[in-house]
Amino acid sequence: MSTHAIQATSDEAVYQRLLERFRPVFTRIAQGAREREQHRELPYQQVAWLKDAGFTALRVPASHGGTPVSHTDLFRLLIELAAADSNVAHLLRSHFSFVETIALQPAEFQDRWFPRVLAGEIFGNAATERGGNALGATNTKLINTGAGWVLRGEKYYTTGSIFADWVVVMASTDGVEGRQYAVVERTAPGVRILDDWDGFGQPLTGTGTAIFEDVPVQEQNIIQRKVASTLEPAFFQLCLLAVLVGIGKAARGEAAGLVAARTRTFNTGSGALFRDDAQIQELVGRLAANVFAAESIVITAARELDAAHDAALGLDEQQAYLRAELAVQQAHVATPKLVLDATSELFDVTGASAVSTSKSLDRYWRNARTVATHNPVAFKARSVGDYFINGTIPTGLNSIGEAKGKK
């Protein structure tokens, strides 16, 4: 066996051990996932199980007491978690993204925050505003009162923050170029997190409004936001794609289970049980192939993100950025349609009983459609095309706001 083959086997063995470690937790989380969505029961307990199992600390460096996994293994695990409950996988997106951000900060910052991650503390996100902010700026402000810094503003789409110990808030400071991150305790005076997300999908992610009313911020917990040539946007978007693939895998399992158990049929078909009908088998096979393709694409993009971080490759900052961002943007163009097709085709493998609200099979499509709206595919496709035609370096998503020249 070649050295390359031996290494590939070793890497897969590492992942399988990780999967064996967390599979029992994922199985527990899957139990009751449908009922939680039906009754809008936020998964606080399920998040606690993951913290207790060490899942939220998987990317802490060895230099700070962690046993870090590769990006590839992390995203494969996130896919499996999303197959169990896409809400739970999605709400951890902000947490894992901030762990990546910690690793980019000076040693003093890392020394303060990595121990908190190891202790199981969770980080949420408050970056986007519902409207009124100029693109590249925020209406949320960091203000120096003379007696210290305070945070003032309102955010929406604050996924995961309602479950978090800390909220990472994007803000602007008058007279300071760019934007900053302010890290504040979720329970600090002046912080209010509302569960008012009204989207038709991903209802249990804690995505909603966060209000900050003169919240004290320690100066050491303010980070200048770096935009150009960072790997953070690629990581942030790949989290969404992993959630999408997990939804597809769950829909594939539902399709197979429905067909295997069904005894009713139609006179216009073969008259055989659905599980023995060649046309139904083909439908499930095509659905499964879409999910397989989507998962393969996302895993390949994750490997490119690992390559971008690999010092042994000798990539400079822009080369590393391009390798990760281009891979994730291409994955972003291809993956949503594959999963959306699979979650829609779920209804083609059975009869009208599939639309019963008691089954909640529509949640797969609704959740996938919701995740897929986060970053318009058209913009990613244009960016990829511009790179291959003109060599234009893709721009990662780092800001949402009002367009210039808006009337």
Helix 93-103 crosses helix 107-118 at what angle (to 10 degrees)?
Answer: 150
Phi first, then psi, for residue 403 (nearest 5°) are -70, 150
Query: How many angstroms separate the CA atoms of 277 and 265, rounded?
Result: 10
pLDDT tens-digit series, residues 136-190: 889 999 999 989 999 999 999 999 999 999 999 999 998 888 899 999 999 999 9
Average pLDDT over residues 199-212: 96
As assigned by CATH, the class of the 231-390 domain is mainly alpha
CATH of domain 11-121: 1.10.540.10
Q: What is the pLDDT, as a whole number, of residue 230?
A: 81
Average pLDDT over residues 338-354: 93
As assigned by CATH, the class of the 126-225 domain is mainly beta
Q: What is the pLDDT, as a whole number, of residue 136?
A: 82
Q: What is the pLDDT, as a whole number, of residue 5?
A: 37
Query: How many angstroms separate the CA atoms of 228 and 195, rounded?
Result: 33
What are the domain boundaries of the chain? 11-121, 126-225, 231-390
Query: How many angstroms separate the CA atoms of 89 and 47, rounded?
Result: 9
Count CB atoms within 10 A of the CB of residue 388. Answer: 10
- Rounded to two decimals, the pTM is 0.94
> What's the whole-number average pLDDT of the chain?
93
| Inter-residue contact 117 to 56 (CB < 8 Å) | yes
In sequence order, which residues have a C-beta less than 8 Å from that of residue 304 and are 6 or more positions away? 323, 324, 326, 327, 328
Instruction: Please say if the pLDDT value at position 28 is more than 90.
Output: yes
* 32 Cα distance to chain centroid: 21
